[in-house]
Structure 1
């Protein structure tokens, strides 16, 4: 899944693809590099980000989605608002990547159910401006599993097709660095729930803090790709269904190396 943020303030690429032509060109480039899905977002969910209104979000994503649909690209819309999802699906998006797992807008389940489209339910506890205060867990892996299970059960109760549901542990969303590492280390616990798991670590701040310099300054966002590639390979090895990344080519190369290595036959023992 290639990330396409058509926002002025996303943490990694805010403002780079606000122009329709630039957004389309970048999406086509990611498609050509091997992205199966382009995830189009019109509202930043970086830590501390404020919200924009639904009209602004729609105005950002719908023209891009319509243009990309005309080029035959497969897309999800990254939104927690039912009205935005509905407009995006009408414009040609094929599914909804909902960082709130359906909690932010109770009408989202109806929109997804009626559209019969895929719905990625991310673990979430609150909006970006307050999520850091909600990062308290008894056992982060068990708690995230339990809370994601509740989101899935509510989606099923609303009539959403079980075959259309995927889950995401929500790295960085109401998570401390140690929570992200624990979830990464035990991703198999979420995979064992039986739903496709999307893993989204690309360029996130916990990687920057891990790679901080001698003075304690985090590694800049644009210099976290090698760390992202490592997390991608580990997630795929643990059974993740997909990875959401900014650098499509690099991550696909890393996965292909892992696949080739995993599929290689062991050398014959010397006689």
Structure 2
């Protein structure tokens, strides 16, 4: 009986329709871990990031299911060309995960509008440009799934995260606004709000990171949330609860707590 069931599963996998995913920000961290997880689940993954070498290394870890398409999402024309290349080579994109972004800490004493612009152009405008390109085709065929990676930092303003938190808050609001309309067109949309995840970006932090999880744990949670069709995929739950409670506090109490997060004066 086991031989028969195994054969049937193999036959089913051969006849199952090919599922195509596109992940930006896939050269490291959450994007990379998610690409590997989805590949294990049978997806064919187009991965994009600015580092061609890192993408090539990622593709080499798969059995041909991961295909590299280097891209800087701040370039609108480059996004158009990349999506066309993906569709020409792999087919229509069923799932798009926009995880490209960067992070640095900033404070009032060294606030720099040029650095703020850099953060906005990558984290926010880059994501918006990807959405602009990917949504029309999904709406037209009334199917598809999109996930945007934001952060629990978008829930409340934290010292050191003025620029980063602003971009992540904007992503949350943008997706909340788009969700009902996309849903009416048969397109699923998810917002992913991670807490602290062990990635090359967070390893630059010089402060304790509560409830830190691995990128692989994050990828498992995201994959499960996408499969379940969740709108908000937030983790780890302890960090999510803490941040949401902080947001709900009256301003006087909230600021009393966030003042404790200030870096020591030199």
| Alignment TM class, shorter chain as reference | 0.3 to 0.5
- Which one has more relative contact order, counting CA pairs under 8 Å at least 6 apart? 2
Structure with more helix by fraction = 2
TM-score normalised to the size of structure 2? 0.38
TM-score normalised to the size of structure 1? 0.38
